[in-house]
Amino acid sequence: MNKFHARKTPHDGYVFDSGKECQRYKDLRLLEFAGEITDLTVHPKFILQEGFMWHDKKIQPITYSADFMYQEDGKTIVSDVKGGKATQTQLFKVKVKMLKKRFPELDFRIVEE
């Protein structure tokens, strides 16, 4: 259990961070089956800043792993399931800002459940 009392939930070979995220996956799979969305990807990873060398030290890249990515009405949607404002940490907010700056073509959505 994590600090927000969510339980890891396995389903279809994936491990979701919460039951709500797992339910969102099931909902998206139904939409994909119905043809309303396509190309559903679970836990896509984005490089927000490349790694680099600094004073002979390797600095790791800054990455962000979303919950889902899919195509809808010609747009690429990236979404994250959150249980409310409390789960939207400062780090999450900063990474979302970086994602929006680096990938302006994406439609980012927070799904609060």
Mean per-residue pLDDT of the chain: 92
Give the pLDDT confidence score for residue 5 in this predicted structure: 64
Sequence spans of domains, the chain: 39-112
Instruction: Please tell me the least confidently modeled range out of 4-18, 19-33, 75-89, 96-110.
Output: 4-18
Distance of CA 58 to the CA centre of its chain: 26
Query: What pairing do the DSSP bridges indicate for beta strands 75-82 and 107-112?
Result: parallel
Question: What is the residue whose two structure tokens read 């979302």?
Answer: 96
Return the percentage of the chain with pLDDT > 90, whole number. 78
pTM for the complete prediction?
Answer: 0.87
> Environment class of residue 28 by beta-carbon count within 10 Å: exposed (0-12), middle (13-18) or buried (19+)?
buried
What tens digit of pLDDT does each residue of 84-101 get? Answer: 777 889 999 999 999 999
What tens digit of pLDDT does each residue of 32-60 get? Answer: 999 999 999 999 999 999 999 999 999 99
Q: What share of the chain is helix, strand, coil (3-state, %, to 5)?
A: 25, 40, 35
